[in-house]
Chains A and B, each alone.
Chain A
Amino acid sequence: MQTPTTTDPRFLRAPPRRGIALSWRDPTVRAVFWQVVILGLVGLGIWWLVDNTMRNLEVRKIATGFGFLEREAGLPIGESLIPYSPADTYFRALTVGVLNTLRVAIIGAVLATILGTVIGIARLSRNWLVAKCAAVYVEVLRDLPLLLQLLFWYALLQGLPGPRQALNPFGSVYLSNRGIKFPWIEWQEAHTAALIALVVGAIVTWGLSRLFTARQMATGVRPRLWPWAIVLLVGLPLGVWWAMGAPFTVDRPVLRGFNFRGGGTITPEFAALLFGLVLYTAAFIAEIVRAGILAVHQGQWEAAAALGLSRGQQLRLVILPQALRVIIPPMTSQYLNITKNSSLAVAIGYQDIVSIANTTINQTGQAIEGIAIIMMVYLTISLSISLFMNWYNARIALKER
């Protein structure tokens, strides 16, 4: 059982072998017995729940199974990242919901991280006003229930004038209670190709960077990266776009009939949800960042100052890299929170996975399947976030030898 990994003399000799006595006094037997009992009880509990549910569904003549996913949904959906019409299947409708959830969660997490970091640092500022403003922000926003904040933002956005009296701050950008309308390029194949080229370029640049670091380690001379980076990140996508005919048409929003046609749109529902989630989560992230910075020993500031670094440089080069180790683990929880809190979208009419799955449940009556789908989606997203953050945490952890 035990392998001697140290030179402790007690482990140099193999422990005396004991036969397993089938006796209650044998701790191994007791341990195995209780584990079997507990596992059995849990298994029995699950079996009872499943069996009871199946039996009751049968008694109540409720159809079961996931066959409904292939039926025509008929549901209208307000905003979608992929083409969708009510003639599509429930499966596609639910996919639209998952993408809408991911969209708000990913954009929300990025913005909340940036805003939270800025406010966290501001709260430690030597400037009295900046520090107090940050403190007030944190205390107000994290103390109010998120649902209330969402309803507040949604009501505020609804208070904007109608499309025919839309505010026009600049250019072809219009603000109305139908959302924010802005010019957008007409997306064509060349743009998709250029985007793919950009991703490829980024990956190659990252590979080169590692290669050059290795060469620096070996020879002490680091080859210049930036000419390569420009070629790969700017030249390559532009070249691809050029080669495919360089299409570029601006699609401007124009008022026609009830509403603006064309251009890009940020709906009030999405904007309210994003605002609410970002502002709320940023308050928590700010506190995490502040705690992380305060966790770095004062001596580090002094040492950095002794090297002649400015206060900004001290923060950026010395303090934050060390603070990250304290910041990352609780940040995982915040990213999970922002994802799960996005389900409050139901209240303000943003059609995320919960909203669409709820409607599906209502139209098909497949409540258990619908809830199972919602749970699977959130579990998958949450576990992915956890895995990524754990990997990142392990990467930046202090290398102890």
Chain B
Amino acid sequence: MHTAMRAGALALAIALPAAEAVAQQSPTLDAIRARGQVVCGVTTGVAGFSNPDSQGVWRGLDADGCRTVAAAIFGDANRVRFVPTTSQNRFPALQSGEVDLLYRNTTWTLGREAFLGFQFAGINFYDGQAFMVKRALGVTSAKQLDGATVCVQPGTTTELNLADFFRTNRMSFRPVVIESLEEIRAAFISGRCDVYTSDASALASFRFTQGPNAEQYVMLPEIISKEPLGPVVRKGDQRFFDIVRWSLFAQIAAEELGVTSANVDQMLTSQVPDIQRLLGVTGGIGQMMGLDNRWAYNIIKQVGNFGEMWERNITPMGVPRGINALWTQGGLMYAPPIR
């Protein structure tokens, strides 16, 4: 029996050397399992995306994204250690292995995949860069900003888009470049800058945190860039990459199929094949990924589907779903088949 099994394993190993290698090699997953926690790089505090609440619990779309990965791997969404990173130290943190992945308002660009050794596992927010000004300034379009002083955080694509936009429109501007989010916002509020530029989501989050003063600020209509934000992992660990990517897709698929955290237990008995495969009732997809077959069930049960996650984190800021709606509702959120 024992010998037979070993012979079988040997035959399998000879027959499927490539598959064997792929299945075995996931240093990231091994490290996560050994440590019992996913270490997830988040922002230092952007409301709606990743921001600690009054109890010190990280809340937001990105924070919940981290939880889906923990739910998929451990079946427990709370086995996450959140590591706040600045826009400047996020990449070294991921490169050095200090964090397993970044769920941190990070824009997917070719350069970051080609030069930095990263891979973007998906898009959880389709964003774009916008401008915010004080209402009292009386500006209605970004084309009127010639000669303005602009507050911008360094080390981001935002900084480059800003320079491109003003260059394209033959306008001049003066940048005020400060790394700390609090300091740059304080500079804008004090009037050191006429304009504050960032991703539309971050501007909405800023406006939201101003409480009764929110009315003093307006966002200009121009969206000057594409900023697809999503989770990032190190290149070369395909197994872990798949887990992060499909954890997000599972949530999008669940929303499309009408599976929510509230009804997921009843859905286990559903006769719809797509739902059965998603929840691991049939198909055994989880095992092929090196996970429990109930990986997606755990994600939906503990974190919810994509729509629930959105409503919990983004809706309170007054940001409409827009292009972030499901493809069936005219948006861009589209998950490939889970089968």
Contact = CB atoms under 8 A, between A and B. Distances in A.
Q: Does chain A bind chain B?
A: yes
Interface of A: 59-63, 74-78, 85-87, 151, 155, 158-159, 162, 177-178, 256-259, 261, 268-269, 346-349, 351, 355, 358-359, 361-365, 367
Contacts of B173: 76
How many B residues are at the interface, by size bracket?
35 or more
Contacts of A347: 178-180, 183
Contacts of B95: 60, 62, 365, 367
Contacts of B177: 76-78, 349, 351, 355, 359
Contacts of B174: 78, 259
Given A62-B116, A256-B147, A358 B175 contact: no
A158 B192 contact: yes
Complex A-B, nearest 8 residue pairs according to Cβ-Cβ distance, in ascending order:
A362-B155, A86-B163, A349-B178, A76-B175, A61-B117, A158-B190, A365-B116, A359-B154
Nearest to A176: B191
Nearest to A61: B117
Given A74-B164, A258-B149, A346-B179, A63 B115 contact: yes
A362 B86 CA distance: 11
A86 B167 contact: yes
Contacts of A367: 91-92, 95
Contact of A358 (B88, B115, B163, B164): B88
A85 B166 CA distance: 11
Contacts of A74: 159-160, 163-164
Interface in B144-161: 145-150, 152, 154-156, 159-160
Given A62-B115, A365-B112, 7 more contacts: A62-B117, A155-B190, A158-B187, A158-B191, A178-B192, A258-B194, A367-B91
Nearest to B177: A349
B98 to A, nearest CB: 13
B192 A177 contact: yes
15 contacts: A60-B234, A62-B116, A76-B162, A76-B163, A78-B177, A86-B164, A155-B186, A177-B191, A257-B148, A259-B194, A347-B178, A348-B178, A349-B183, A355-B179, A365-B95
Interface in B79-136: 87-88, 91-92, 95, 111-112, 115-117
A36 to B, nearest CB: 35
Contacts of A86: 160, 163-164, 167
Interface of B: 87-88, 91-92, 95, 111-112, 115-117, 137, 145-150, 152, 154-156, 159-160, 162-164, 166-167, 173-180, 183-184, 186-187, 190-192, 194, 234-236
**Which of A61, A86, A177 has most chain B Cβ within 10 Å?**
A61
A64 to B, nearest CB: 10
Contact of B91 (A61, A87, A355, A365): A365
Given A62-B116, A178-B192, A362-B87, A75 B176 contact: no
B149 A178 contact: yes
Contact of B88 (A258, A268, A269, A362): A362
Contacts of B91: 362, 365, 367
A76 B178 CA distance: 12
A158 B186 contact: yes
A60 B117 contact: yes
Given A349-B178, A363-B160, A355 B115 contact: no
Nearest to B195: A258
B146 to A, nearest CB: 7
A348 B183 contact: yes
Nearest to B97: A60
Contacts of A151: 183
Contacts of A363: 111, 155, 160
A364 B88 CA distance: 11
Contacts of B154: 75, 355, 358-359, 362
Contact of B176 (A62, A349, A358, A364): A349
